Structure 1
């Protein structure tokens, strides 16, 4: 994760800071593979502190914390095709829908 100041933000902008993160992926090996060939790697709860510790700089040790989620820990479900456009954002993108509901 990273906190950074939007370089396009005006000096008078009251909210110029952004919080961003990266999703690290691997080849999909479960039901997610029906939807997309990649799936996210995960960090076990017991390793959250080590992963998020900014003083932890050993890349090999951190890489070893990444695991493929066990079968059943990720659920594939229908969502709106609005997720296919990077300009769309918001919590509604992950709401489960029936295929008949997809109106974007």
Structure 2
């Protein structure tokens, strides 16, 4: 899934920086960055694939959604919405994405149905 015309698809998310107090103060791995993608019920565009889909953030809301001082729950929630119908291109990709050991841009290339090299 991607935004039509190769436009950026910004997803609604939450992020946090965590201090691992069990590590030494000078350990570069002492700080952890975690995030989660916020989902909603899938629209008709995606619903035939999965019942959930990510919330998106429109370009005019990017700055406000990335502002770490923005902690008003209602305001943050108002910055996200399901992608508008017809705004996404849906296509098959390799099932290799299902293994966290696999990484790289080739994983997101469209494939013809039934031609997945992983099967």
TM class, shorter-length: 0.7 to 0.9
TM-aligned CA distance change 1:19 to 1:72, over 3 Å: farther
Could you say which residue in structure 1 is the equivalent of 2:88? Answer: 74
In structure 2, the residue matched to 1:103 is 117
Structure 1 residues 35 and 6: alpha-carbon distance in aligned structure 2, compared to 1, 3 A threshold: farther
1:33 aligns with 2:47: yes
Write the deviation string for residues 8-42 of structure 1: whole angstroms up to 9, x where unpaired. x9x998x8476553211111112211111111111
Name the Cα RMSD after superposition: 2.9
In structure 1, stretches of 5+ residues that fail to align are: none
1:46 Cα deviation after fit: 0.8
For the 8 Å contact 1:32–1:75, the answer to whether it is kept is no
Indicate the residue corresponding to 1:43 in structure 2.
57
Q: Which has the higher strand share?
A: 2
Aligned length: 103
